[in-house]
Structures are given as structure tokens and as C-alpha cells.
Structure 1
Amino acid sequence: MGPLDIANHLLNFVAPAAAVALVLLLSGRLVGSRSASAMSVWLRGVILFAVGVAVLAAGLVLWGRDGKMLTYAALVVACATCQWVLVRGWKA
């Protein structure tokens, strides 16, 4: 496998985490706190992306392959919980 194939596989592996992080960032004002957050949007995006990649990697280690629906469900739950904590959703 060449370097382009490796890059393609890595990008396809992290694409769901990037998509979930982007959707949460764009819809953050609708479901999140109305007050201004002390954290920048870019920093929240990086944190959400890192949490998503960690969940995907944990699913890969746990089941030995990626693309399991339970891993994607855990990705959504973990990223949504992280977003809730980052925007201080309990204060709404």
C-alpha cells in the first residue's frame, strides 16, 4: 500500500468525526447556550474532532474493524455530550 492509499484510508477513517464536529458547530447556537462562550469556535471544533477520533479509534481497537454502527452511535453520543459540556448546557 502506497502513501496515497494510506492517506486515503486515514481521511476516510476520520471523516465521520469531522462531519459530526462540523454539524455540531453549525447547530451549536440552536441547541446550545444562548450566552457567549469563553471558548472560541475553532477550539470547540478541535475538541469535538479529537473526541470523535478517540471514539472511532476505541471502536477500532475494541471490535478489530471500523465502520460498526455501534461505534458510530457512540461517536454521536460522545460528541453531543462533549458539546453540551462545552457550551455549559446545564445552565440553560
Structure 2
Amino acid sequence: MTLLSLVAHLAGFVAPALGVGLLLWAGLRIRRKVRPGFSSARQLSMLWVAGTVVLLVGLVYFGRDGKIATYAALVVAQGTLAWWLRGR
């Protein structure tokens, strides 16, 4: 496997975490209700890291990537984090 191929595989692996994170982050920005003390970049990075961790745990647990249960856990984890970031 070449370096370029490895980078493409890793980018494809974390793409769902980044995609869902971007959608949730955009929703936070549109509603303008955000917990104080968290910049936009920090919120997006927190969502992305949480999603990537869920994908890694799913890969280790199931032994392969792309299981629907992993993607469901991704949505639940990032949605819960976005709800917490929204604050009251």
C-alpha cells in the first residue's frame, strides 16, 4: 500500500465523522445557541474527535468498518455532544 493509498483509506474512514459533525456544527451556528467558552473551531474539533473515536471503537468491536450499528452509535454520540454544546 502506498502512502497516497493509506491517506485515502484514512480519509474515507473518518469522512462520516466529519460529515455528521459538520451538519451538527452548522445547526449550532444557525440556532446561535452555544455553551459559552467554546469557540467554533473547538466545537467542530470536539464533534469530529468524538465521531472518530466511535468509528474506531466500532472497528475494533466488529472487526470491520461500515456496520450500521457503528454509524447509529456515531449519530447518537455526536448528537448528544451537540446537544450538550448547545447548552441552556
Length-normalised TM-score, structure 2? 0.91
Amino acid at match of 1:85: W
- Write out aligned runs for 1:68-83 (5 A): 68-83=67-82
**Unaligned segments of structure 2, at least 5 residues:** none
Q: Which residue of structure 1 aligns with residue 46 of structure 2?
A: 47
The offset of 1:87, in angstroms, is 1.8
- Using the aligned pairs only, state the percent identity: 42
1:41-82, Cα deviation, whole Å (9 max, x unpaired): 110000000000000000000000000011000000000001
CA contact (8 A) 2:43 2:85 kept: yes
Quote the Cα distance in structure 1 between the aligned partners of 2:44 and 2:67. Answer: 24
Report the 3-state secondary structure (helix = DSSP H, G, I; strand = E; otherwise coil) of the residue aligned with 2:66.
coil
**Unaligned segments of structure 1, at least 5 residues:** none
Length-normalised TM-score, structure 1? 0.87
Amino acid at match of 2:76: V
Count matched residues. Answer: 88
Amino acid at match of 1:10: L
Is 2:9 the counterpart of 1:9?
yes
- Please tell me the root mean square deviation across aligned C-alpha atoms, in Å: 1.7
CA contact (8 A) 1:17 1:52 kept: yes
Report the 3-state secondary structure (helix = DSSP H, G, I; strand = E; otherwise coil) of the residue aligned with 2:36.
coil
Change (3 A) 1:70 1:5: same
The offset of 1:38, in angstroms, is 2.3
Amino acid at match of 1:5: S
